[in-house]
A and B are shown apart, each in its own frame.
Chain A
Amino acid sequence: MGPKSVTEKLLGILALGAMLVGSYIGLAVVPADAAQGNVQRLMYVHVPAAWLAFLAFFVVFVMSVLYLIQRDERWDNVAAASAEIGVVFTVVTLLLGMMWGKPTWGVFWTWDPRLTTTAILLAIYVGYGALRSFADDAEKRARWSAIVGVIGFANVPIVYMSVTWWRTLHQPPSSPRSVAPDILWTLMLNLAAFTLVYAYLMVRRIRLAKLEGELEKRMAYNA
């Protein structure tokens, strides 16, 4: 509620700068991949987005377990923030997966194990969000969403494993070729940039969650 702290502003500028540099290098500086050509440049946004989605949902998992043990409202706020941001990153990942899939595989959507798992991840955390919006009582909402946060995440490895088996029984998995160093560096840079963006959005979203909690208390108090 107070004036935005300096560190937060700094984090925001840092994140923006890193993203600009990352995209610039990814698009204009680093040479295109020999085999795939320029479309491979989408890797510098697709892969980091997927990794951040996964990280966000892992944070939701950890916060959910913490909440179930300590029942501290702060963990619930962080979990809610991370889940919402995770959904944004997952949608971006899926869209980029399609943009990349069309030229390389000729179709917008294939049941590739990673894409499928990401889609299921999206369904799980859209469910998480819907549950939060339907539960009125703050304590129940926190407890129930923490439960879905734990079960939802525990499901991910099994989903990935079963989907991979499902696909590999039909088509061999694309073995990751050795990646050229400059491509790897660009990828790492973008991954760092995306992580900064995640951190910045988290700070903002957690504050919003606190505000919403306070509003709920005041509305009930004055009701």
Chain B
Amino acid sequence: MRKWSVIGVVYVVALILLWVYTGQVGMENRGFIFAGYGLTWGALLWYAFRLESREQTTARAVDSFAVAGD
């Protein structure tokens, strides 16, 4: 899970950079642009993280049962 905490940190740093950048460049409506890109990346990363954790828990559960003979 350490991998995902690293990704989380990188994501937050990127958001800060985005906020600073849109401020410097003086983009109008920067709030919406920031929210839009932040949400898109956040949703995809969150879903990928959820998939990985579900996969691990299911894999562990599968191994804990005897193999289902036919």
State the A residues within 8 Å of B (CB).
Answer: 1, 19, 23, 27-28, 32, 37-39, 41-42, 45-46, 49, 85, 88, 91-92, 95-96, 99-100, 102-103, 197, 201, 204-205, 207-208, 211-212, 214-215, 217-222
B47: contacting residue among A37, A46, A201, A222, CB under 8 A: A201
A122 nearest CB across to chain B (Å)? 13
- Contacting residues of chain B (47-62) with chain A, CB-CB under 8 angstroms: 47-48, 51-52, 54-55, 58-59, 61-62
Pair A96/B40 contact, Cβ less than 8 Å: yes
- Contacts A217-B68, A222-B65, A222-B66 given; indicate if A103 touches B55 (C-beta within 8 A): no
A-B contact count (CB 8 A): 101
Interface of B is mostly: helix
User: Do B51 and A208 touch across chains, with their CB atoms under 8 A apart?
Assistant: yes
Is B68 in contact with A27, judged by CB distance below 8 angstroms? no
Residue ID in chain B nearest A49 by CB atoms: B40
Per the 8 Å Cβ criterion, residues 22-63 of B in contact with A are 22, 25, 27-30, 32-33, 35-37, 39-41, 43-44, 47-48, 51-52, 54-55, 58-59, 61-62
User: Nearest A residue to B43 by beta-carbon distance?
Assistant: A92
Give bound CA distance, A210 to B61, whole Å. Answer: 13
Indicate whether B67 reaches chain A with its CB closer than 8 angstroms: yes
Contacts known (A37-B28, A42-B36, A215-B58); A205 close to B65, Cβ less than 8 A: no
Within 8 Å CB of A1, what residues of B?
Answer: 59, 62
Q: How far is the CB of A215 from chain B (nearest CB, A)?
A: 5
Q: Which residues of B contact A (CB under 8 A)?
A: 18, 21-22, 25, 27-30, 32-33, 35-37, 39-41, 43-44, 47-48, 51-52, 54-55, 58-59, 61-62, 65-69
Given contacts A212-B58, A215-B62, A219-B65, contact A99 B51 (CB under 8 A): no
A selection of 10 A-B contacts at a CB cut-off of 8 Å is: A27-B18, A39-B29, A39-B32, A95-B39, A197-B44, A201-B51, A204-B48, A215-B58, A215-B62, A221-B68
20 new A-B pairs (CB below 8 Å) besides A39-B29, A205-B51, A208-B58? A1-B62, A27-B21, A27-B37, A28-B25, A38-B30, A39-B32, A39-B33, A42-B36, A46-B36, A88-B43, A99-B35, A201-B51, A204-B48, A204-B51, A215-B62, A218-B67, A218-B68, A221-B66, A221-B68, A222-B68
